[in-house]
Structure 1
């Protein structure tokens, strides 16, 4: 048995109990049995689930065996633990990777992709303040407010008797797009 076989087996069985699982494997490894069109795949992904009602799904000391459907045709698949390098749970979105079992070209591809996708730091060029465009915001009254102001304000008698020292309550400003 592969030295990480018991751990892979435990993770796979736990994930299968929750729902659909995707296993990632190197189909070129010895002992892997997949359809002939997929035998040269460095990163083959297979979905497993108890909901597929597989009559022969076996997760054992050697690895995984199951009959799966490929383009409508059934095929008996066998995956030893040494060929399996990752397990993904569709339900919990958990992902377990075993980098020691990953194909070398996938590791290299990941490193190249990572280097290409991370740009090198560039000094940020900020325009001097005098060259930056300036936005000027000003308060614009709404039509309803203008109409209300043109009418005579009605003050209730209780307010007329109150102290005159208090400043009026500030009005809320509103921004309006003017083209």
Structure 2
């Protein structure tokens, strides 16, 4: 078993208990068994899950063995711990990377990508300004004026006949603003 084998095994088993897990491996390493079309892959990703109801999923001292489906065909896969260089939980989106086991070209590509995101100048870049705070609504207490008692209130003028429907008739229903277009 390679040095990181027990750590990788414990991590993979813990994440499989939560749900689907993606493992990243170098299919060119000795002991790896994958379909012939994938044997030259330096960065091969496989999904494992107990929900796939695998009849033979084995996570042991040597590595991982399982029958998986590739383009509708089943194939017995074997991945030694030395070939596995990353584990990603599809449930929590956490990722564990083992750079010592990464293929050189994958590690180089990763370094080129990270260098591209770092500015060429050695000077520190100023921090981005904090986003402006949105103005908050100001709440204030509204005090209602007390109405004078009904006996002291001035009499309201009688409504004119043309001002609207009489009090006995219900108001005419308003038409909705949506219409059906066929």
Offset at residue 117 of structure 1 (A):
2.8
Q: Tell me if 1:81 matches 2:84.
A: no
Cα separation, partners in 2 of 1:67 and 1:118, compared to 1, 3 Å: same
Q: In structure 2, what is the equivalent of residue 68 of structure 1?
A: 68
Q: In structure 2, what is the equivalent of residue 33 of structure 1?
A: 33
Cα separation, partners in 2 of 1:70 and 1:123, compared to 1, 3 Å: closer
Q: In structure 2, what is the equivalent of residue 106 of structure 1?
A: 106
- What secondary structure is seen at the aligned counterpart in 2 of 1:82? helix
- What secondary structure is seen at the aligned counterpart in 2 of 1:54? coil
Q: In structure 1, what is the equivalent of residue 54 of structure 2?
A: 54
- What secondary structure is seen at the aligned counterpart in 2 of 1:107? helix
CA distance in 2, matches of 1:78, 1:90: 21
Q: In structure 2, what is the equivalent of residue 10 of structure 1?
A: 10
Query: Larger % of helix: which?
Result: 1
Offset at residue 123 of structure 1 (A):
10
Alpha-carbon RMSD: 2.1
Q: Which runs of 5+ in 2 are unaligned?
A: 126-182
CA distance in 2, matches of 1:12, 1:80: 13
- What secondary structure is seen at the aligned counterpart in 2 of 1:91? coil
Offset at residue 113 of structure 1 (A):
1.5
Q: Matched residue pairs, number? A: 127
Q: In structure 2, what is the equivalent of residue 131 of structure 1?
A: none
Q: Which runs of 5+ in 1 are unaligned?
A: 125-179
Using the size of structure 2 for normalisation, the TM-score is 0.66
CA distance in 2, matches of 1:87, 1:115: 24
**Which consecutive aligned stretches of 4+ in structure 1 deviate over 4 angstroms post-superposition?**
121-124
Q: In structure 2, what is the equivalent of residue 119 of structure 1?
A: 119
